[in-house]
Amino acid sequence: MEFKHKSVLLEETIDSLMIKENGTYLDGTLGGGGHAYEVCKRLGDKGRFIGIDQDADAIKAAGKRLEEFGDKVTIIRNNYCNAKAALEEIGVTKVDGIVLDLGVSSYQLDTVERGFTYKYDTALDMRMDQRQSLTARDIVNDYSEQDLYRIIRDYGEDQFAKNIAKHIVAARAQKPIETTYELNELIKAAIPAKIRATGGHPSKRTFQAIRIECNHELEVLRESLDDMIDMLNPGGRLCIITFHSLEDRIVKTIYREKENPCTCPPEFPVCVCGKAPFGKATPRKAILPSREELEENSRSKSAKLRVFERI
């Protein structure tokens, strides 16, 4: 299956990067190379692009797509939380722009055996990096009822989280839950029929929650942003596309802290801690998809782009 993924907020991200033709750019979530291709197109002879992804299929697809740009492109298989060390290994300490597109690719969702989607019956997997040992099956069968409840409530924002967790734990006491359809049936049974009839697919929120937990998505994001901002040259920009309110909240909070890192008590007339701002969010608010994009690509519905410019 070809690695296809329609890049969300593509024009807005490329415009926000303000690409310099001889600059150095990093895409920490390379995917199929949609954002990457547009960045590389704008680079001159001395421009450089580095793409990072933990998914072997993405690396292969992006390598093929970016082939025409030759030596300007370096692709690394890793998690973007290790970007600083990975770039130092190839002699790069500073970049002029960074893109993080935190969505799951269409390819990952549509490749049945990856187990990301509730639409097909397949083994519960959901690993973005298949070298990782923890799978969705492990979470569903081994986590305590309390932990399942917390994950589904917080990461899936599902009002029936408690009941879903209870149904999972009762079912697995009889036999392990192995497939996406087995999990689907349990979720369906835990949600009132009236809600199921109107609220979209009943499994959507729980599957999202398990995927976020399986890939440690929120921890990775939280632990990476200091490094990302630190790697930017003055005037360099960090563009992050989120698809979940918790991701967006992390980005917004860290941008705010980096804009105003001062730890002095509010009653102090002047700052004595000496912590200077690193930059600013620009624009102040998140950039949202256009009406045309929403009509063309339903997966852009919850997308938000936030941009931080380094001083």
pLDDT tens, 7-65?
A: 899 999 999 999 999 999 999 999 989 999 999 999 999 999 999 999 998 899 999 99
Residue 166 parent element (H or E): helix 161-174
Q: At which of 196, 214, 232 does a domain end? A: 214
Look at residue 5 and tell me if it is in a domain.
no
Percentage with pLDDT > 90 across the chain: 87
Per-residue pLDDT tens over the stretch 225-268: 999 999 999 999 999 999 999 999 999 999 999 999 999 998 99
Could you say which of 214, 236, 263 is where a domain stops?
A: 214
Q: Are 73 and 1 spatial neighbours (Cβ–Cβ below 8 Å)?
A: no
Model confidence, pTM: 0.93
Domain that holds residue 100: 10-107+217-310
The answer to whether residue 154 is domain-embedded is yes
Residue 75 forms part of a structural domain = yes
**Is residue 123 assigned to a domain?**
no
Identify the pLDDT of residue 196: 86
Q: Are 62 and 101 in the same domain?
A: yes
Among 214, 229, 251, the domain boundary falls at: 214
Same domain, 226 and 98: yes
Mean pLDDT (the chain, rounded): 94
Are residues 196 and 57 located together in one domain of the fold? Answer: no
120 within a domain of the structure (yes/no): no
Is the pLDDT reported for residue 199 higher than 80?
no
Asked if residue 237 and residue 207 are part of one domain, the reply reads: no
**Where residue 74 sits, what CATH number does that domain have?**
3.40.50.150
Q: What is the pLDDT of residue 128?
A: 92
- Residues 54-81: tens digit of each pLDDT: 999 889 999 999 999 999 999 999 999 9
pLDDT at residue number 5: 55
Total domains in the chain come to 2
Residue 138: which CATH number?
Answer: 1.10.150.170
